[in-house]
Structure 1
Amino acid sequence: MSWDPGGATASQSKLYVYLKFLRMEQTFFSLPMAYLGALVAIRGIPSPSVLLLIFSALFFLRIAGMTNDNLADKEIDSRNPRTKTRPLVTGAITTKEAKILIAIGLAGFFISAYLVNIWAFILSPIVALVTMTYPYMKRFTAFANYQIATVQGLAVFSGAVASLGVSASSLTQVLGSVPWLFVIATILWAVGFDLYNHIPDADFDRKMGLHSFAVVLGNRALTFAGLNQLFSVILDLSADFVYNLGPISYVSTILHGAIMAYAFYLASRNQFGKAFYYNIYSSVVLGVGIDLDILLGIPFM
């Protein structure tokens, strides 16, 4: 179980170390889901400035959240054979550098939220709080798996708020038009996705007093992950119908589910690294597919 998406060796370039430390590729994989929220919420295409600010907010929050996660877990990661090559553990990135990154990330996120619209700015502290408290929550409850999954769901939510808030006259109007089925489906998808990180570490986490459903459920954790993702696909298909989306959305949702099923198969064979990345690919297929569906406006026959 040596796989770790955040590991990097000192012999690699500083830029590569930073990219691995922040897992920046996951920002770009999350972007189609944020745009899904933005496009579905208004059944159209937001302005270029809104699209750019959605990316900016997601980018900076990733910097703050991932750095905070690594900083909070530095001592734990140093004891885990799977994570001992993480840059904060090896010293490739210093604690001072990490704190600067957190400050830059939060400042960039709040500025982006302020620039996009007033409702996004008002809600931005809640989004930041959920993101920044996750690494501490797993010291107390297994529902931390749902908290980190909620961060993924908030990408869809935040995209919707960014596009809706431009013309909305009240916060109630904004919240009432958020595509909540997609938000909840994304959370359930991400719970399974996150457990692919925790299942290989279940014995270690148990010894360290850390909490996750991998620790609580033991051998049943993988089944629990699969059930969450099964329900997420059902909700996605329901959302395609409720939000009156077209055929590309249905096809992309089915492909999304098929890729997740394959990832589950890989995880059942202890190939958690591959399963982790196939789950990322599945979200890209879903997000891009629904975004294209709205962009092209092909009616469902």
Structure 2
Amino acid sequence: MSAGKFSLYLDLIRWNRPAGWLLLLWPSLAALWIAAHGFPGWHLVAVFTLGTILMRSAGCCVNDVADRDFDRHVKRTAQRPVTTGAVSVREALVLGAVLALLAFVLVLTTNAVAIAWSFAALAIALVYPYAKRFVSMPQAVLGVAFSFGIPMAFAAVQSRVPLVAWVLLLGNLFWVIAYDTEYAMVDRDDDIRIGMKTSAITLGRADVPVIMACYAAYLVIWGAVLAGRIPAAVLAITLAVAGGQAAWHYTLIRRRERESCFRAFRVNHWLAFTVFAGIVAGYAMV
């Protein structure tokens, strides 16, 4: 493989833009800590960290193949390797399959319950790229896909997926809708022109209020789950810092300017990292 082709593959999987896999990683690691009532062990931390990077990269391959005819009409995506033809559809799908297979090999080192749930996670990841054609709020579908590391974490730790895992998934889904609507606001004009369905288009002028309501729902639900599990003072500080970040996001998106909305999306992983850090600190003090 030439250096140029390898560089194109790295571009395809967004290697230089880690925000995407960090959005997946922090809720998954947080769920591991909650499921294990503290540090879950280096094996599971490594499996979920590497698996997150691999599956997000595989998802980029599938997404770019599915959207290649739309992406050429959107300013932000017109130069993606599959869209320009620099990487063929076959190459992208083969790369995506290899990355997904490597992620599955990691899952095989856990247990039968986690392995079984991994097939559901894969199915949802494959469905999402096509949801934008048929669903008025495809961000909700992405929310399930980007939150599925949570039940996977509980399955890997406890060999079961209890109700609390689905409650956390629901809370995380609200967060995904918030940040991905910010993302959709960046491309709203282009998406309207090409007939793509997004939450930013569906919500119209209600986009900013709904985003803020989703941030609130995320923090309330996760806060309710964590109450009693970690010290109240740690939880209060964690929610205050995370809430402050959400308030800052309001100042970025309230005018609906493209660059400010994109900035809000790019830094969203810090909000989930704040929650994760609070969980780690809280369980360390129990």
TM-score, normalisation: structure 1: 0.84
Larger mean CA deviation between 140-149 and 46-55 belongs to 46-55
**What is the aligned partner in structure 1 of residue 88 from structure 2?**
94
After superposition, the C-alpha distances for 1:122-179 in whole angstroms (9 at most, x for unaligned) are 11111111111101011001231101012222122222222222xxxxxxxx122643
The answer to whether 1:277 aligns with 2:266 is yes
**What is the aligned partner in structure 2 of residue 221 from structure 1?**
207
**CA-CA distance at 1:192 after TM superposition:** 0.8
Which of 181, 186, 194 matches 2:180? 194
**CA-CA distance at 1:109 after TM superposition:** 2.2
Q: 1:111 to 1:208 in 2, by over 3 A?
A: same
Q: Matched residues in 2 for 1:136 and 1:18: separation? A: 18
Which of 74, 78, 85 matches 1:84? 78
* Structure 1 contact 22–67 (Cα < 8 Å) conserved: no
Larger mean CA deviation between 24-33 and 126-135 belongs to 24-33
**CA-CA distance at 1:194 after TM superposition:** 0.3
After superposition, the C-alpha distances for 1:217-272 in whole angstroms (9 at most, x for unaligned) are 21222221221112111112212215455533332222112112211210113211
Q: 1:242 to 1:292 in 2, by over 3 A?
A: closer
Uncovered stretches (5+) of structure 2, i.e. residues with no partner? none
1:128-143 alignment, distance < 5 Å:
128-143=122-137
Match for 1:122: what amino acid?
Answer: A
Q: 1:146 to 1:252 in 2, by over 3 A?
A: same
Q: Matched residues in 2 for 1:21 and 1:13: separation? A: 10
Match for 1:247: what amino acid?
Answer: A
**What is the aligned partner in structure 2 of residue 48 from structure 1?**
42
TM-score, normalisation: structure 2: 0.88
Match for 1:30: what amino acid?
Answer: L
1:166-205 alignment, distance < 5 Å:
174-176=160-162, 178-205=164-191
Which of 220, 229, 235 matches 1:234? 220
Match for 1:55: what amino acid?
Answer: T
After superposition, the C-alpha distances for 1:91-149 in whole angstroms (9 at most, x for unaligned) are 44332331122111221222222221110101111111111110101100123110101
The answer to whether 1:206 aligns with 2:192 is yes
* Structure 2 contact 151–161 (Cα < 8 Å) conserved: no
Q: 1:59 to 1:47 in 2, by over 3 A?
A: same
Match for 2:138: what amino acid?
Answer: A
Larger mean CA deviation between 134-143 and 149-158 belongs to 149-158
The answer to whether 1:256 aligns with 2:242 is yes
Q: Matched residues in 1 for 2:40 and 2:133: separation? A: 40
Q: 1:73 to 1:245 in 2, by over 3 A?
A: farther
What is the SS of the residue equivalent to 2:189? helix
1:9-88 alignment, distance < 5 Å:
14=8, 17-18=11-12, 20=14, 23-88=17-82
**CA-CA distance at 1:22 after TM superposition:** 7.9
Larger mean CA deviation between 87-96 and 155-164 belongs to 87-96
Q: Matched residues in 1 for 2:53 and 2:14: separation? A: 14
**CA-CA distance at 1:19 after TM superposition:** 5.3
The answer to whether 1:156 aligns with 2:150 is yes
* Structure 1 contact 214–221 (Cα < 8 Å) conserved: yes
Q: 1:264 to 1:157 in 2, by over 3 A?
A: farther
* Structure 1 contact 253–286 (Cα < 8 Å) conserved: yes
**What is the aligned partner in structure 2 of residue 124 from structure 1?**
118
Number of residue-to-residue matches in the alignment: 279
* Structure 1 contact 60–108 (Cα < 8 Å) conserved: yes
Q: 1:108 to 1:247 in 2, by over 3 A?
A: farther
**CA-CA distance at 1:29 after TM superposition:** 4.8
